[in-house]
Amino acid sequence: MSNWAFLAILAGLVLVYVLLSRTKEGFALEFVDRSNEKRTDATRASSYNQETNHFKPTVPLAEATPGVPTPYRVNMFDSYIPA
């Protein structure tokens, strides 16, 4: 490959890079969501004190539906087929 072809390819790559980098849209700070930063800062010191959305059962637990038990579970409850 001649030197001119190499320079033409290199110039083309530089041109493509410049065109792609100029068309990037910047962030508008008023549209950035920062609602989770306070919760992240509150739990930053301990990885054991995390908030989750796990299921908390009510007290006392409701009675099971009369029927035939199935091998399926819904959250922490066994599933039954009504008899």
Question: What is the pTM for the complete model shown?
Answer: 0.31
User: Running DSSP on this structure, what letter comes out for residue 42?
Assistant: H
Asked if 30 and 38 count as a contact pair (C-beta separation under 8 A), the reply is no
Write down the domain spans for the chain: 3-82
Indicate whether 50 pLDDT > 70. no
Size of the chain, expressed as the number of residues it contains: 83
Q: Which residues pair with 7 in a beta bridge?
A: none
Peptide bond into 82 cis (omega under 30): no
User: Running DSSP on this structure, what letter comes out for residue 73?
Assistant: E
Question: What's the token pair of residue 5?
Answer: 């072809």
Query: Which amino acid is residue 31, in one-letter code?
Result: F
**Predicted confidence (pLDDT) per residue in 9-39, tens digit:** 999 999 999 888 877 777 777 887 888 787 7
